[in-house]
Structure 1
Amino acid sequence: MDLLQNPTTQLLETALSSSMTRQNTISQNIANADTPNYKAKKTVFSHELNRAQEGQLKALKTDRRHLEFGGKPSDDSAAVVTRNNTMFNHNGNNVDIDHEMSELAKNQIYYNTLIDRLNGRFNSVRTVLGQGR
């Protein structure tokens, strides 16, 4: 059994990578808030929704009462799309700085939660190996 490279750890790594992509997208939007004709971008995870709707997610069931859900983490990364359907400024720029700042705060909380969970998994492994307390 591989203690470090298991589906949960891989899922956490994928989520961290996607969160970093979202952070970069939001940062670009904030940096270009005053750039004429700049169109705000958004990070989307539609590939996961599509997989779930197609019924491709499978669960390891250890009991007949378990529900179907879960599965291997996706290798797909987050996609960045341009938002063209809104306009907030007279110069063609559609960055809403209040929205971007709130998304930045939400993403930071999400990222910190993922880091804490990953640290908890590594601390559990250290404890099992006798190097923790």
Structure 2
Amino acid sequence: MVKSILSSPQESVLERALGAAALRHKVVANNIANVNTPGFKRSDVVFEDKLAEAMSGGKLPLARTHAKHLAGRQGGDVSAPSVVTDTRTTMRTDGNNVDIDAEMANVAKNSIYYNAVAQQLGTYFSNLKSVIRGGN
């Protein structure tokens, strides 16, 4: 029963979002580290678009934690984040397509995103803790 409470669709999505943000930070750091590498092509992480698509299509079903709950599919699985490389653009004559200003903006944006998701996950567990203690 404890596993069912802790593995809710909300927790699963937040956990994957944190993982995506951590992966994005590594990818952006790699882009920045290779800003002067001839022929290097920048990469990015795709997750939020997949999440929005899954949510708009109603693909996040209710999780059944008991046999007498409403019928529906189990889970609430959201695709894992993926890394894509941008091979279509070139910023310089040596073939490199990393724009340092854009990458630094991506670091700031990703930090805000990570902190917001971490805060939401903390709130989720605080609420769960409150329920376990009986609302006290």
TM-score band, normalised by the shorter chain?
Answer: 0.7 to 0.9
Q: How much does 1:77 deviate?
A: 1.4
% identical aligned pairs: 36
Partner of 2:36 in structure 1? 34
Question: Does the 8 Å CA contact 2:9/2:60 hold for their aligned counterparts?
Answer: no
For structure 2, the residue ranges without an aligned partner over 5 or more in a row are 63-74
CA deviations over 1:49-92 (Å, ceiling 9, x no partner): 66567x462555xxxxxxxxxx8131x21111111122112322
User: TM-score scaled to structure 1, two decimals?
Assistant: 0.76
Q: Give the letter for the 1:104 counterpart.
A: V
Question: Does the 8 Å CA contact 1:43/1:79 hold for their aligned counterparts?
Answer: yes
Change (3 A) 1:6 1:101: same
- RMSD value, Cα: 2.7
Mapped partners of 1:10, 1:83: distance in 2: 29
Q: Give the letter for the 1:72 counterpart.
A: G
More helix by share: 2
For structure 1, the residue ranges without an aligned partner over 5 or more in a row are 61-70
Q: Give the letter for the 2:77 counterpart.
A: P
CA deviations over 1:78-130 (Å, ceiling 9, x no partner): 11111112211232211001111111111110110011011111112222333
2:76 is the counterpart of 1:72? yes
Partner of 2:111 in structure 1? 108
CA deviations over 1:8-33 (Å, ceiling 9, x no partner): 11111111111111111111101111
